[in-house]
Amino acid sequence: MLTLPSPEVVQETALRWKREAKIAFVPTMGCLHEGHLSLVRRAKELAPKVIVSIFVNPLQFGQGEDFEKYPRTLDADAEKLEAEGVDMLFVPTKDDLYPPHFSSRLQVTGLTDSLEGVFRPGHFDGVATVCLKLFQITQSDFAIFGEKDFQQLRVIQQLTADMNLPLLIVGHPTVREQDGLAMSSRNRYLSPEERERAGKLPQVLREIRSTFQTHPEFPIGEILKPARKTLEAAGFKLDYLTIASARDMKPVTDTTLANYIHEPRIFVAGRLGSTRLIDNQSLEEVSS
Ligand code: PAF
């Protein structure tokens, strides 16, 4: 596996590869777990050349967020990627991607007006900006994003369409722990006791899906009320627990009836202690 820090060298190499092979790309912030590795395996199915980037992007962290303490585990990450047969690991520094006079920001509107866009102002501008740079540098034909950050996936799909980028954005299902908790680099911040309580989150999402499917005549508020109570009783301080259409990411009102929503999805974000967890799930899928 080639490990390269320089955007110029990565782009040169990618342009050379591209003459003969398609390139699939997995952008990450490192601290890799099984969820990331499943994206890498999907990338390998899609193209003969696979590039992974590791970069903790300062532009997408707000004030008081965990940029400084975000776990950095480069050696262990590189070993995992080598074992998966990744062709290139791109590990730029902050100055490599944002030299002193860097002054551009990309903004995707509409899809970012709700959910994470409200609680993390500027977050998606940072994500969109770094992703556009990474796509240009890696010259990728495919980029794979996990559905755990579903709004991010939709924002990147929109950006790609709006900017006529010649690549396909591929969404990949969330990988979960045994109790259903979505895998996340931030799960390691949880104390053992919080980790146990965190299992309530996927449990509640499953219960919502089940009520939603068995009672499509129920107003959404009635479906969500007991779920909020359960999560708060488990110690969650909720930012939101809401149902939105996957098309426009706009939360529906409490009086909307379940069967009136196109591509309904449940979205949740909340804090357990000092750890912020997010999750989402399609409400159309068959229960597992
Ligand atoms: O999902 C992430 O890890 C990040 O938001 C991404 C896509 C690597 C951009 O920094």
Separation of alpha carbons 63 and 238, rounded Å: 19
Q: Is the pLDDT of residue 8 over 60?
A: yes
Q: Give yes or no for a contact between 103 and 14, defined as CB atoms under 8 angstroms apart.
A: no
What percentage of residues in the chain have a pLDDT greater than 70?
A: 99
Give the residue-averaged pLDDT of 191-213: 97
Would you mind telling me the total number of residues written for the chain in this entry? 288
How confident is the model over 65-78, as a mean pLDDT? Answer: 96
Q: How far is the CA of 55 from the centre of ligand 1 (A)?
A: 8
pLDDT tens-place string over residues 97-138 = 999 999 999 999 999 999 999 999 999 999 999 999 999 999
**Are β-strands 23-28 and 2-4 bridged in parallel, bridged antiparallel, or unpaired?**
unpaired
User: pLDDT at position 287, please?
Assistant: 61
Report pLDDT digits (tens) over 156-190: 999 999 999 999 999 999 999 999 999 999 999 99
- Mind telling me the catalytic residues? 36
State if residue 57 touches ligand 1 by the CB under 6 angstroms criterion.
yes
Ligand 1 centroid to Cα of residue 58, in Å, is 11
Residue 30 φ then ψ, to 5°: 80, -165
For 60, which DSSP code?
A: G
> Which atom of ligand 1 is least distant from the CA of 185?
3
Tell me how far the alpha carbon of residue 94 lies from the centroid of ligand 1, in angstroms: 14
Vertex 7 angle, CA 3 and 10, to 5°: 50
pTM: 0.97
Q: Atom of ligand 1 at shortest distance to CA of 127?
A: 9
Tell me, in angstroms, the distance from the centre of ligand 1 to residue 210's CA: 31
Hey, how many other C-beta atoms are within 10 angstroms of the C-beta on 280? 23
Atom of ligand 1 nearest to the CA of 149: 1
Helix axes of 220-233 and 200-214: crossing angle, nearest 10 degrees = 160
Q: Among candidates 130, 121, 7, which has minimal Cα distance to 58? A: 130
Average pLDDT over residues 27-46: 98
Checking 104-112 for CB contacts under 8 A at 24+ apart, the result is 104/129, 105/59, 105/129, 106/132, 106/159, 108/155, 108/158, 108/159, 108/162, 110/158, 110/248, 111/151, 111/154, 111/155, 111/158, 111/248, 111/249, 112/151, 112/155
pLDDT at residue 258, as a whole number = 83
Indicate the top mutation candidate among 70, 112, 149 to test ligand 1's pocket, ranked by most ligand atoms within 8 A of CB.
Answer: 149
What's the pLDDT tens digit per position in 227-282? 999 999 999 999 999 999 999 999 999 999 888 889 999 999 999 999 999 999 99
Q: Cβ(149) to ligand 1 under 6 A?
A: yes
